[in-house]
């Protein structure tokens, strides 16, 4: 065990900077190396590091970083389609790895990462921030504690702003992202598996690009990413989950809403404001017996990122695992399964049919 963990960050765009800001407030964490081929992105990282940037080594890629710096942990935050190439030199070492979602953009690459990760000594963690939002974590804990009884239905809604611009506009094209249902929605497909504690059987998705990016052109190419969809996932235990996604709903009061309904009642979580709402079943027609409570989030964690404090809490859990004080909470295989549901959803939306999960798992 070491007092201070030495971190390297690969990919210093918007999300890489969020990781840097959260590591800055995590006790026993020291970013000593950053890697990105884009000078502009490295500049953003230096700005986030502040005075500490003077002692931080800079590299164009993960391989040169690993060859020149001794690290305890590396956070991979590069564009989705680069993950396999970025991970190759890291997986050859025993360094602890936190790889942002999605694990990869294709099932072949995701399977390769799982094989490599499970054969090595160093730990591997797939970055799934939404598990670690304190209100979402409280919601999950209540469900697993039996609050709703036997879970039958899980509903997740994300109504939000359009996708932000990224360096090189890579996130406008499905061949770079894996498609919206992989790139964005793997968070929610991961949550479905966590909440139900079951595995997916089939996926049906109806979605399209109807509003955003229609008039955008990049070197003559037109974006092709879904901006709204409904996705239903059937699970092996008989429960079902639904994702309602809209990426042109900036005016929505709650960016995320989740509802779990079982034979004892319904439980909701609203983010923001971070409230949990309990609706127990009562004899018809009532009266209702609704209870609502707020889940507090550390102020510094809220200010360090845009994921309702989740990035900080995930890093705290990851650091405990690196130190041997806790287990890995999100494995490479978890990352693979989230990608599998996303790939099935993309296929379903394109071909307008239900997709058995075995079809994409192989």
| Average confidence (pLDDT) per 10 residues, the chain, 362 residues | 89 97 97 97 97 96 98 97 97 98 98 98 97 98 98 98 92 96 97 98 98 94 97 98 98 97 98 97 94 97 94 98 97 98 98 98 92
295 token code pair: 């889940």
State the CATH number of the domain containing residue 116: 3.40.50.720
Q: Is residue 237 part of a domain?
A: yes
pLDDT, position 286: 85
The domain of 288 spans 131-298+333-361
Regarding whether 149 and 72 lie in a shared domain, the answer is no
In this structure, are 116 and 226 located in the same domain? Answer: no
Interhelix angle 332-351/186-196, rounded to 10 degrees, is 120
Both 151 and 277 in a single domain? Answer: yes
Asked if 219 and 349 sit in the same domain, the reply is: yes
Q: At what angle do helices 107-119 and 83-91 cross, to 10 degrees?
A: 10
Q: Is residue 304 a part of any domain in this protein?
A: no
Query: Alpha helices of the chain — where are they, by DSSP H?
Result: 14-24, 39-49, 62-68, 83-91, 107-119, 134-144, 174-177, 180-183, 186-196, 299-303, 310-322, 332-351, 357-361
On whether both 152 and 117 belong to a single domain, the answer is: no
58 and 205 part of one domain: no
Six-digit token pair at 16?
């890489």
CA atoms 214, 216, 222, 225: torsion sign: negative
- Tell whether 103 and 138 lie within a shared domain: no
Name the residue among 156, 141, 122 with its Cα closest to residue 260.
156
Instruction: Give 1: exposed, middle or buried? Use CB within 10 Å, 0-12, 13-18, 19+.
Output: exposed
Residue 221 lies in a domain: yes
Residue with tokens 């978890």: 334
136 shares a domain with 99: no
180/76 same-domain check: no
Q: State the pairing for strand pair 151-159/124-127.
A: unpaired
Q: What is the CATH number of the domain that holds 282?
A: 3.30.360.10
Whether residue 141 is found in the same domain as residue 236: yes
- Within a domain: residue 313? no
What is the C-alpha to C-alpha distance for residues 339 and 81, in angstroms, rounded to an integer? 13
Mark whether 122 and 143 lie in a shared domain: no
Are both 226 and 255 inside the same structural domain? yes
State the total domains in the chain.
Answer: 2
């Amino acid at each position: 065990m070491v007092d201070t963990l030495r971190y390297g960050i690969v990919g210093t765009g918007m999300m890489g900077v969020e990781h840097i800001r959260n590591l800055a407030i995590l006790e026993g964490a020291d970013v000593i190396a950053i890697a990105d081929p884009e000078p502009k992105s490295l500049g953003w990282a230096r700005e986030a590091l502040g005075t500490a940037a003077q002692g931080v080594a800079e590299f164009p890629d993960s391989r040169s970083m690993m060859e020149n710096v001794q690290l305890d942990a590396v956070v991979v935050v590069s564009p989705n389609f680069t993950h396999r190439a970025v991970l190759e030199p890291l997986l050859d070492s025993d360094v602890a790895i936190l790889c942002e979602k999605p694990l990869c953009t294709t099932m072949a690459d995701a399977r390769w990462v799982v094989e490599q990760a499970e054969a090595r000594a160093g730990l591997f963690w797939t970055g799934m921030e939404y598990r670690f939002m304190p209100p979402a974590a409280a919601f999950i804990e209540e469900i697993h504690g039996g609050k709703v009884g036997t879970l039958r239905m899980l509903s997740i809604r994300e109504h939000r702003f359009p996708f932000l611009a990224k360096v090189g506009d890579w996130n406008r094209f499905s061949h770079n992202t894996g498609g919206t249902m992989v790139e964005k929605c793997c968070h929610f497909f991961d949550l479905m598996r966590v909440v139900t504690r079951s595995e997916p059987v089939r996926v049906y998705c109806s979605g399209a690009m109807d509003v955003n990016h229609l008039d955008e052109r990049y070197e003559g190419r037109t974006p092709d990413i879904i901006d709204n969809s409904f996705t239903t996932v059937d699970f092996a235990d008989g429960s079902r989950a639904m994702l309602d996604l809209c990426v042109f709903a900036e005016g929505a009061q709650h960016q995320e809403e989740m509802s779990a309904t079982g034979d004892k009642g319904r439980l909701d979580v609203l983010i923001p404001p971070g409230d949990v709402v309990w609706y127990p079943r009562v004899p018809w027609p009532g009266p209702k017996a609704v209870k609502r409570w707020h889940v507090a989030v550390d102020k510094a964690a809220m200010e360090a990122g845009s994921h309702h404090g989740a990035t900080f809490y995930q890093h705290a859990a990851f650091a405990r695992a690196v130190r041997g004080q806790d287990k890995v909470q999100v494995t490479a295989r978890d990352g693979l399964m989230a990608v599998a549901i996303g790939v099935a959803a993309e296929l379903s939306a394109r071909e307008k049919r239900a997709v058995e999960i075995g079809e994409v798992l192989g």
